[in-house]
Amino acid sequence: MVKKLAILLLFCYSFIKIEAQVNCFANVAIDKHSVYAQEPFKATVTVSTATWYTAPLDFDNIQISNAFILPFSRTFSTMLTVNGKQYASLQFYFIVFPYKPGNYSFPAINIRVETPPLGSSTSQKVTINTSPQKFVVKDIPQKFKGENWFVAKNVYVSEHWNKSLNNLKVGDVLKRTVVIDAKGTLPQFIPGFKNDSLDWASVYPDDPDLADTRDDYDANGKRTQTITYLLEKEGTFEMPAINIAWWNPYASRLYKRSAAGATLHVKANPNLGMLTTLKDSLSAFSAAKEAVHQHKGALRIYGILWYWFLLYALIALCLTYVVVRMIIAAYKKIRQRRRLYVVSEPYWFKKFLSAQNKTGSVVNALYAWWDRWIAKDKFPSVNQTLQDGQDKHILEEMNTYNKEVYNEGNKNALVDKDFKTLIRQLRKERTSTNEPARQVDERQDLWEES
């Protein structure tokens, strides 16, 4: 009985594990199965689960003989439908650069995944693998044999000289820097160019500087090389052009670009005593000196010389301090104006005009404004002021309102619609402009009927 129970538990465990594997799978798709040497292709890995992922994917390093593999860490999430079922999928990709003809395969990948099986919220660790994908690397076309074979999407060639090409003389040193910026390839594949010997100048090429300039989607490279020329003869000479040719695999054709040559007019130099010494120095130390020179220099912060960075930071701090002080001063000024305004007569008259026409609201607002109003022949009592003046019609309206509220007990009594208009006219006619407005402490609460 115990043995049967153990077998049953083992079977259930195996079933759960198989269920997790069935609902999580991976595959590899390559966009080209036949390429030339150096021609890249893209391998996209898709990992799908019927539920969700509870941890990042973990997979082995990939190696292919006679090829460079460029992994891209950016992962894309998507939903895939397989046999009518929805799967949460993660995609990442590699760019493969084979460099030797032959038959190869993109290897199977072991991927470790943490995901819960269907109907469960507890994740399980499972290992899934992909199938290998075969591809063929073709040899260079026969018509390009002997040439520098170079595959790229696009290439840009630029050059600059260390000095003007005018007024040259024997003994001058020229430096020509050529930059080859290639898209869709690795910097290791960018070919160099010939530095033919010249009978009118000595040529000293420096070691090239290779830079990986890849972006989030593609491989890119840049090759920078400097050639130093020591002018040894007078006359008119042609500086040779530098030509770069590459194969575009998407257009299936050859393209060319070049750094144009130049015509040099070299004048005689009566002071040639140092020419031999200069030539020996360039032969022995030019490449080393240039390399050391490139690595030395003042400290830079975010590409800015440190002293300029400190100056900019100081200016930014000063501007920030000034702006903050201005904001604080403006805030205090606005706050003070606001405090004076909320205890002023115009503010409370505005509250009276906006008071709702319901029990107590209009009359209470009228009394609050009356305390702050400075007027000719005004008494503290509203009724006394209106009795002594020519505004008995306003008093009649107030008496009618008070009678309804206090004598008849009608707490829903309303003032007439023209009541506020009459008060506005009274304020306009009797406001005194010779006396300062009375200020009432802002802490004084407005009385409200309970």
Pick from 262, 264, 200, 208: which is nearest to 230 by CA? 200
> Would you say residue 393 lies in a domain?
yes
Please, which pLDDT band fits residue 216 given cuts at 50, 70 and 90? confident
Residues 291 and 350 in one domain: no
Residue pair 93/74 in contact by the 8 Å Cβ criterion: no
Sequence-ordered list of residues with C-beta below 8 angstroms from that of 345, at least 6 positions apart, any chain: 369, 372, 373, 374, 437, 438
pLDDT at 32 over 90: yes
Distance CA 381, CA 373 (A): 12
- How many structural domains is the chain composed of? 3
Compute the average pLDDT of residues 356-363: 68
pLDDT at 390 over 70: no
Distance CA 115, CA 26 (A): 13
> Would you say residue 2 lies in a domain?
no
Residues 133 and 177 in one domain: no
Backbone angles phi, psi at 80, to 5 degrees: -120, 150
Model pLDDT, residue 61: 86
Strand-strand pairing, 41-49 and 85-98? antiparallel
- Report the share of the chain in percent with pLDDT over 70: 78
Residues 26 and 77 in one domain: yes
> Which domain covers residue 205, as residue numbers?
147-296
> Would you say residue 370 lies in a domain?
yes
Residue 77, class by beta-carbon neighbours within 10 Å (0-12 exposed, 13-18 middle, 19+ buried)?
exposed
> Would you say residue 317 lies in a domain?
no
**Angle, CA of 319, 325 and 330, to the nearest 5°:** 125
Residues 72 and 116 in one domain: yes
Residues 125 and 167 in one domain: no
Residues 134 and 154 in one domain: no
Residues 162 and 215 in one domain: yes
Distance CA 48, CA 85 (A): 11
Residues 292 and 184 in one domain: yes
Residues 285 and 165 in one domain: yes
pTM for the model stands at 0.54
Please, which pLDDT band fits residue 192 given cuts at 50, 70 and 90? confident
Please, which pLDDT band fits residue 445 given cuts at 50, 70 and 90? very low
Element (DSSP H or E) covering residue 331: helix 306-341
Please, which pLDDT band fits residue 298 given cuts at 50, 70 and 90? low
Sequence-ordered list of residues with C-beta below 8 angstroms from that of 54, at least 6 positions apart, any chain: 114, 115, 116, 123
> Would you say residue 327 lies in a domain?
no
Residue 144, class by beta-carbon neighbours within 10 Å (0-12 exposed, 13-18 middle, 19+ buried)?
middle
Model pLDDT, residue 120: 85
Please, which pLDDT band fits residue 178 given cuts at 50, 70 and 90? very high
Which of 138, 158, 189 marks a domain boundary?
Answer: 138
> Would you say residue 302 lies in a domain?
no
Q: Which amino acid is at 231?
A: L
Residue pair 287/204 in contact by the 8 Å Cβ criterion: yes
Residues 89 and 161 in one domain: no
**How would you list the strands of the sheet with 110-115, edge to edge?**
58-59, 110-115, 124-129
Which of 281, 296, 311 marks a domain boundary?
Answer: 296
The 10s digit of each residue's pLDDT in 79-99 is 988 888 899 999 989 999 999
**55 alpha-carbon distance from chain centroid:** 27
Which of 113, 138, 163 marks a domain boundary?
Answer: 138
Q: What is the CATH number of the domain that holds 51?
A: 2.60.40
Element (DSSP H or E) covering residue 3: helix 2-22
The 10s digit of each residue's pLDDT in 37-47 is 999 999 999 99
> Would you say residue 323 lies in a domain?
no
Residue located via tokens 């040559």: 261
Residues 164 and 280 in one domain: yes
Compute the average pLDDT of residues 170-188: 92
Compute the average pLDDT of residues 175-200: 89
Residues 287 and 166 in one domain: yes
> Would you say residue 116 lies in a domain?
yes
